[in-house]
Amino acid sequence: MGDGGATQRESLEALLQEARLFRPAPEFSKNANAGDAEIYARAAKDLEGFWADEAKRLDWIEPWKKVLEWDAPWAEWFVGGKLNVAANCVDRHAASARRNKAAIIWEGEPGDTRVLTFGMLQREVNRFANGLKSLGVKKGERVAIYMGMIPELAITMLACAKIGAPHSVVFGGFSAESLRERINDAQAKVLITADGAWRRGNVVPLKANADAALEGTPSIEKVVVVDRVGKQANATMKAGRDVTWDELVKDASDKCAAEPMDAEDMLYILYTSGTTGKPKGVVHTTAGYLVGVSTTHHYIFDVKENDVYWCTADIGWVTGHSYIVYGPLANGCTSLMYEGSPDYPDRGRFWSVVSKYGVNIFYTAPTAIRTFMRWGREWPARYDLSSLRLLGTVGEPINPEAWIWYHENIGRQRCPIVDTWWQTETGMVLMSPLPGLVPTKPGSATRPFPGVEADVVDEKGRTVPPGAGGYLVLTKPWPAMFRTIYGDPERYVRQYWSRYEGKYFTGDGAKRDEDSYFWLLGRVDDVMNVAGHRISTYEVESALVDHDSVAEAAVIGKTDAIKGQAIASFVTLKEGTLPSDALKRELREHVAARIGSIARPDEIFFTSELPKTRSAKIMRRLLRDIAEGRLLGDTTTLADSAVVGKLKQQYEEEG
Ligand code: WTA
């Protein structure tokens, strides 16, 4: 736990006075996938029965014997069941009337496009699955993936699932060092990457980064490289180790039997930032995960057979795993995948994609919405957005102004908005309105999904009364919950399940209002949420301290109108090193090179001393007060209270 408690939302009182209520339109409710409020009571009364019913949406090779084995914090779902995720996401649709329905509509950044029907996707997945086998990949062996948003990314994930090899996708914006760390933790046997990726007309040198990472990854035997960018990527191939995607699949058969997987076999590892130490490998397993993501996708996004669904996340994050690939495809839904950024070639790009494909359901992050607000309503106004039927948000608290802007300018006052709260660890959305049933309040994720139980508690674990802030905990298991931290079960127990006996500690602050609606208040630990990306203060501090000039560093998430939080760092330099703007730039680039550009500090502030307690703990809470221009909070525990006053004055002068 941090010393914080300060959250991204400072004016809680104002927030809780948000009285606007948006009721579902009767025509929407009439046809909604969740149309009967009884779903909540049913799930509350019989959790296992509820999930057993939902599990029937999947094809099982062998039925489960028991829905849930719960020995907190260890869960097993659909015990004894066997199934294959790729068979559920691809094969069964390819064998149905959906054979020639678009599974993935891909829009490349430079404007090239590719559509894969379920039938075509099946052939591609099988060919690559056979390719992986020919490289010696066996069931249970980990495959690392480092790619941009191209169809081969989804194909690789599904091919891994098909043969039972867990994947570990590393976001393409991470540095070589971050990639190396993740490959080594997972002990991956092969790496699938691309020569490069397009980003705002520039080339991200994925292969060059991968080559640098691979200098310290003894477990990697083979590397497969997709040709995405061509010459401009300047990628080189290492003989004996590297093979191109095309070469690998050239003679591969397009038939591949699905490996029967145990319900609890690992489907994937996904690394995420925690409060201390290196990123942790969140482990998701097969059956519970797929039941969880397909069920939530069905009810929350209300997807209909002919809908086009677009989630703008990158597949490098959990949102892309659960709600671009696994949830939608399990449901036989058309999932749109976009390679580029929202402002390339211009600021109307997202809306041009919506109108080009007639997108019906659109899912994005508040940080993107706030950026669109800044760019102005004229951008979306130029496009025909009449196909849109439902909007979603994820990744951070949405402020009521952004919610209303989204409602008016994108939803044209017609589309319900689902504000979905969840985490890498939870695998599936745990809190969100069901669009046909639950009236929404701008800024509130409303209520837990059926069967999910949440509480807001104080330090001692006691439920706090309505209107009071506290810690968000989950009191019942859910099928897509992570099962452990890869290679570190002790950390799984300590970090998530030890604070309150038998309850899952989310790391988020929350309030419940008089109507039992939940309002998420941001992280209460040392995890920052920067433009919807999870970054720990610890990681950035370690990267800074690792620079030759830096003696000590303290990093905080500073409230930011667009990004939610910006990274502000307070740095003390080694004796003899002089502060300068050039050094600031160097440090920012140093962090970007160490972790990835998402972690590049927005602000670097040099100081001769950091405020510390008598036990030498840096008081980040006070640094946050300084950075956000507030009066200083309690300073009585400081070793030297003069330090912080001086620092505040200096910060204000320089700022
Ligand atoms: C935050 C992303 C408020 C929260 C799916 C959580 C949210 C962290 C919301 C997880 C939301 C996500 N409202 N806060 N609708 N959705 N968060 O693991 O702090 O990248 O703990 O998963 O994002 O981030 P992660």
Locate tokens 């490996």: which residue? 259
The number of CA neighbours under 13 Å toward the Cβ of 465 is 0
CA of 28 to the centre of ligand 1 (A): 27
For ligand 1, mutation pick of 508, 517, 518, 565 (most atoms within 8 Å of CB) = 508
Q: Residue 276's closest CA among 507, 111, 6, 456?
A: 507
- Report how far residue 577's alpha carbon sits from residue 550's, in angstroms, rounded to the nearest whole number: 9
Q: Are the C-beta atoms of 393 and 419 separated by less than 8 Å?
A: yes
Q: Please state at what angle helix 118-134 crosses helix 151-163, rounded to 10 degrees.
A: 60
Q: State if residue 333 touches ligand 1 by the CB under 6 angstroms criterion.
A: no
Name the residue of 300, 421, 528 to mutate for ligand 1: max ligand atoms within 8 A of Cβ: 421
Whole-number Cα distances in Å, 59 to 43, 85, 87, 90, 164: 22, 9, 8, 11, 16
For ligand 1, whether the C-beta of 507 sits within 6 Å is yes
User: From ligand 1's centre to the CA of 213, what distance in Å?
Assistant: 29
Instruction: Answer whether 444 contacts ligand 1 (Cβ < 6 A).
Output: no
CA of 396 to the centre of ligand 1 (A): 5
Top mutation candidate among 318, 520, 521, 533 for ligand 1, by most atoms within 8 Å of CB: 520
User: Is residue 272 in contact with ligand 1, taking CB distance under 6 Å?
Assistant: yes
CB 197 within 8 A of CB 290: no
Question: To test the ligand 1 pocket, which listed residue (169, 422, 505) has its Cβ within 8 A of the most ligand atoms?
Answer: 422
pLDDT on residue 16: 64
pLDDT on residue 6 = 41
Question: What's the CA dihedral at 388, 390, 393, 399 to 10 degrees?
Answer: 90
- Work out the number of other CB atoms within 10 angstroms of the CB of residue 655: 10
Instruction: Tell me if 573 CB under 6 Å of ligand 1.
Output: no
Omega before 345 within 30 of 0, i.e. cis: yes
Q: How far is the CA of 423 from the centre of ligand 1 (A)?
A: 5
Distance 397 CA to ligand 1 centre (A): 8
Tell me the C-alpha distance between 43 and 651, whole Å.
53
Interhelix angle for 47-55 vs 38-45, to 10°?
A: 110
Residue 158 CB–ligand 1 contact under 6 Å: no
What is residue 477's predicted lDDT score, i.e. its pLDDT?
A: 98
CB atoms within 10 A of CB 145: 25
As a whole number of angstroms, the distance between CA 538 and CA 273 comes to 9
Tokens of 150: 């191209």
Q: Which residues contact 178 (CB under 8 A, 6 or more apart)?
A: 170, 279, 594, 595, 596
With a 6 Å cutoff on the Cβ, whether 520 touches ligand 1 is yes
Cβ 420 under 6 angstroms from ligand 1:
yes
Number of other CB atoms surrounding residue 49 within 10 Å: 13
Contacting residues for 231 by C-beta, under 8 A, at least 6 apart: none
Q: What is the pLDDT of residue 189?
A: 98
Distance CA 347, CA 344 (A): 7
Centroid of ligand 1 to alpha carbon of 7 (angstroms): 13
Q: What ligand 1 atom has the least distance to the C-alpha of 431?
A: 15
For ligand 1, atom 24, the nearest C-alpha belongs to 423
Q: Which residues pair with 193 in a beta bridge?
A: 146, 225
**Are 575 and 552 contacting, i.e. CB atoms less than 8 angstroms apart?**
no
Ligand 1 atom nearest the C-alpha of 420 is 15
Q: Which atom of ligand 1 is least distant from the CA of 522?
A: 19
Distance, CA 323 to ligand 1 centroid (Å)?
A: 14
CA of 395 to the centre of ligand 1 (A): 4
Q: One-letter amino acid identity for 432?
A: S
- Residue 233 CA to ligand 1 center (angstroms) comes to 34
Instruction: Using 70 as the pLDDT threshold, list the residues of the chain that sit under it.
Output: 1-17
Q: Is the CB of 340 under 6 A from ligand 1?
A: no
pLDDT score, position 13:
62
Report the mean per-residue pLDDT for the chain.
Answer: 95
- Ligand 1 contacts CB of residue 395 (under 6 A): yes
